[in-house]
Amino acid sequence: MHLMYFTEQPMSAYDAKAGLDYGATALTFSNSHFDPVAGSRLYNQYLEDYIYAEECGADGIMLNEHHNAPFCMQAKTNVFASILAAVTKRVKIVILGNPLPLAENPVRLAEELSMIDMISKGRLVSGFVRGGGQEQLATGVNPAFNRERFEEAHDLIVKAWTQPGPFRWEGTHYQHRVVNPWAVPLQKPHPRIWIPGVLSKETVIWTARHRYPYIALNTSPEATKSIWDTYSAAANDVGYTAGPENFGYLIRVHVQETEEKALENARQFMWMQGEFTGLANPVWANPAGYFSPSGRRNFVEFAVGRAKNPRGAMTFEEQVASTMIIAGTPKTVIPRLRWLIERTRPGIMAFWANDGTVSPEDSRTCIRLLCQEVMPAVREIGKELGLNSPFEADAPVSIDYATDLRVPAAAAE
């Protein structure tokens, strides 16, 4: 299994009551509430935590980005990925992901990612996302063209990575008279591409057709199995059988020395669900054209009070009981993870470990216990169940940097 550390990088140093009073903090909650001094402190704290996660044994660092919202400070995931490429030595740098529809120049994005891959000596995993609905509004992109822009940008980036230039690109949304980037990836044919998501059946099918791993973002065990069924059916349609190497799962896990402290800190996971910081207006989160017609209808009916929230509205206690949040000591966390892994069988797991106002000291305790005690046990569970990661399921290229000789990984051992 491939095991990653993740945090949303929340901007926790602001007046949370002001956010709750305002309500929908994602998009129009005034940035006058942002304190750059506190932001500087938090950015550096998060960077130190990532470095510590590598020291403690994590296989990868998962990064993402959001816009116009206090629950995530990463305005450009490639910035943190660039820093980590230089200051880490071993961990995979897993971007989940760059929101392609927001990119006005996919060739420039391809160059940035190539630089990260080269500086990290081939440790980049380049994930792509469609981006949240409100983020289309925040960046002035027409949400009706979201999926078209996502697919065209993806195709252009992969071609820029794999086909020597110069060549011309005349697409529906992107036009480039000359595509000839000199920054191309170290990994060949290109960095691994993983796709994260939650609700979109169309994205699951698209991902399966491209044979990319799909990372389910903290979905319930039942919903996760449904996603795997959809993926597996699409994989069969194009001629292959999906396995654990195709499936990833993000789970919220907070570990401390005592059960009481773990549960106290784990309640901070409710940030993303509005208990402390508010959310996007449901109509902004799913503007016209962004979702499929059925998905759009469900959210609008919820927004006007005629239906339940399609993502659910579970309390903290209900999410702990259903294993959507796992909190405790290593002794109590590991059995719950085994239960979850046996039912979802992912080859990739991301541990969303810290959120909200968890103190720096408690964050580091969580990272230490998670990476040094929980992750080794999870790796053994994965071996027992035959849950290979994408890195274990195929034969990547090993590069000898002293001679620049490319040899099969098995021959290099």
pLDDT, tens digit (0-9, with 9 covering 90-100), for 381-409: 999 999 999 999 874 443 443 444 333 33
Residue ranges in the chain modelled with pLDDT below 70:
274-278, 294-313, 395-413
Measured CA distances, 7 to 2, 53, 260, 307, 355 (Å): 17, 11, 21, 31, 6
Q: What is the DSSP letter of 110?
A: H
How far apart (Å, rounded) are the C-alpha atoms in residues 246 and 241? 10
pLDDT tens, residue by residue, 223-280: 999 999 999 999 999 999 999 999 999 999 999 999 999 999 999 998 777 666 557 7
The pLDDT of residue 258: 98
What span, in angstroms and rounded, lies between the C-alpha atoms of 113 and 181? 12
pLDDT digits (tens, 9 = 90+) for 40-72: 999 999 999 999 999 999 999 999 998 888 888
Q: Domains (ranges, CATH) in the chain?
A: 2-412 (3.20.20.30)
**Any residues with CB less than 8 A from the CB of 358 and at least 6 apart, and which?**
254, 265, 268, 366
The Cα 393–Cα 378 span in angstroms is 18
Half-sphere exposure of 261 (CA within 13 A, CB side): 14
Q: What is the pLDDT of residue 271?
A: 78
pLDDT at position 397, please?
A: 42
pLDDT at 298: 66
